[in-house]
Amino acid sequence: MTSQTDIVGLLLAGGLARRMGGGDKALRPLGGCTLLDHVVGRRRPQVDALVLNANGDPARFAGFGLPVVADSVADFAGPLAGILAGMDWAAANRPDCPLVLSAPTDAPFLPVDLAARLVAGTTEAGAVLACAASHAQPHPVVGLWPVALREELRRAVVVEGIRKVDAWTERYRLATVAFPDWGLPGGTVIDPFFNANRPDDLDLAASLLGRLERGT
């Protein structure tokens, strides 16, 4: 039986954040702290270790106390490169953890039962991989990845040039696990995989966060 002590949590912050105007989207302020603070707070209790995938100078994340791993594939090769970096870190530093659970650092409302439900969904479906979904929309980068597949992933990314997550996961039995919205009084709902991609999204996230904290 897999538990949180078998999982490395991977926080993906290796992109260029073009729609946010560039820079480190994960460090943008939200509700008195940063986007990354919110994601770390939701992810840390669910896994045995957390690692941050980010490119450039890792010192800018020093205050979070997380290992920072850069893509091993050049030229910002996309989320698969970040997932590969997380797998490599897990293999080298936590060989007791056979799974990596990835999620982006711009999703401040991630489910607190994300790991448990993806593990259960994988087991129930007899699947190799799992990804989350909401509103019938899969979220390929919110996924559960066996570290044992890292050399297969490396070949796909480095040799075959695969960049789309779906193009790789379609090779395996994939469990897609649906998550419900968070309901607030008055009929407001929050998609647990809401992404703050643009400045306006941060404003909306701040409003939703305030309502969530107040229970209104």
Give residue-wise pLDDT tens across range 149-190.
999 999 999 999 999 999 999 999 999 999 999 877 777 888
pTM for this predicted structure? 0.91
End-to-end Cα spacing for the chain:
38
What confidence tens digit (pLDDT) does each residue in 49-89 have? 999 999 989 999 999 999 999 998 877 778 999 999 999 99
Average pLDDT over residues 188-214: 86
Q: Where are the alpha helices (DSSP H) in 28-164?
A: 35-43, 79-93, 114-125, 150-154
pLDDT grade for 21, boundaries at 50, 70 and 90: very low
In this prediction, residues 81-105 reach a mean pLDDT of 97
Q: Is the pLDDT of residue 95 over 90?
A: yes
What is the pLDDT of the chain when averaged over all its residues?
A: 90
Q: Which of 115-124, 165-174, 199-208 has the lowest mean pLDDT?
A: 199-208
Determine the Cα–Cα distance for residues 107 and 197; give it in Å rounded to an integer: 9
pLDDT on residue 208:
85
Name the percent of the chain lying above pLDDT 90: 74
pLDDT band for 45, please (50, 70, 90 cuts). very high
Report the pLDDT value the prediction gives residue 184, as an integer from 0 to 100: 74
- Residue 187, judged by CB atoms within 10 A of its CB (0-12, 13-18, 19+), counts as exposed
Is residue 167 within a helix (H) or strand (E), and if so which, with residue range? helix 165-169
